[in-house]
Amino acid sequence: MLNISHNQLNKKVTLDEYKSYGKAFKTKHFKIFNRFLLAFAIVGVIILFLPWTQNVSGSGYLTTLTPDQRPQTIQSPIPGRIESWFVKEGDFVKKGDTVLFISEIKNEYQDPQLVERTKLQRDVKNRSVMSYQGKIAALQNQITALNRERLLKLQQAENKLIQSGFKVKSDSIDFQAAKTNKNIAERQFNRTQTLQSEGLKAMTDVEEKRLKLQETEAKLISQENKLLAARNEVINAQVEISRIAASYADKIAKASSDRFTAESSQYEAQVEVSKLDNKSTNYEMRNAMMYITAPQNGYINKAIKGGIGETFKEGEKIVGIMPADYDLAVETYVDPIDLPLLHLDESVRVQFDGWPAIIFSGWPGASLGTYSGKVVAIERFINANGKFRILIAPDKDAEAWPENIRIGSGAKTIALLEDVPIWYELWRQLNGFPPNYYTPEGARTAKVTK
pLDDT in tens, 174-200: 878 888 887 887 887 777 777 777 777
The ranges assigned to domains in the chain are 52-69+326-431, 72-104+290-323, 114-286
Task: Label residue 449 by pLDDT band (50, 70, 90).
Answer: very low
Mean of pLDDT values over 397-414: 84
How many Cβ atoms are within 10 Å of 335's Cβ, its own excluded?
Answer: 13
Q: Determine the Cα–Cα distance for residues 375 and 396; give it in Å rounded to an integer.
A: 12
pLDDT at 448: 39
Q: What share of the chain is helix, strand, coil (3-state, %, to 5)?
A: 50, 20, 30
pTM above 0.75, yes or no: no
Give yes or no for residue 437 having a pLDDT over 60: no
Is residue 220 exposed (0-12), middle (13-18) or buried (19+ Cβ within 10 Å)? buried
* pLDDT one-digit tens code per residue, 229-286: 888 888 888 888 888 888 888 988 998 999 899 889 889 999 999 999 998 999 898 8
How many Cβ atoms are within 10 Å of 108's Cβ, its own excluded?
Answer: 7
pLDDT at 1: 46
Task: Label residue 22 by pLDDT band (50, 70, 90).
Answer: low
Tell whether the torsion through CA atoms of 281, 287, 289 and 291 is positive or negative: negative
Q: Determine the Cα–Cα distance for residues 394 and 347; give it in Å rounded to an integer.
A: 10
Query: Which of 270, 296, 364 is closest to 74 using CA atoms?
Result: 296
Q: Determine the Cα–Cα distance for residues 212 and 204; give it in Å rounded to an integer.
A: 12
Fold for domain 114-286? Helix Hairpins (1.10.287)
* pLDDT one-digit tens code per residue, 69-112: 888 999 988 899 999 999 998 899 999 999 999 998 888 888 88
- On whether the CB atoms of residues 142 and 255 are closer than 8 A, the answer is yes
pLDDT at 293: 92
422-431 and 28-48 helices cross at what angle (nearest 10)? 80
| Domain at 72-104+290-323: CATH architecture | Beta Barrel (2.40)
Q: Write down the mean pLDDT value for the chain.
A: 81
Task: Label residue 321 by pLDDT band (50, 70, 90).
Answer: very high
Enter the CATH code of domain 52-69+326-431: 2.40.30.170
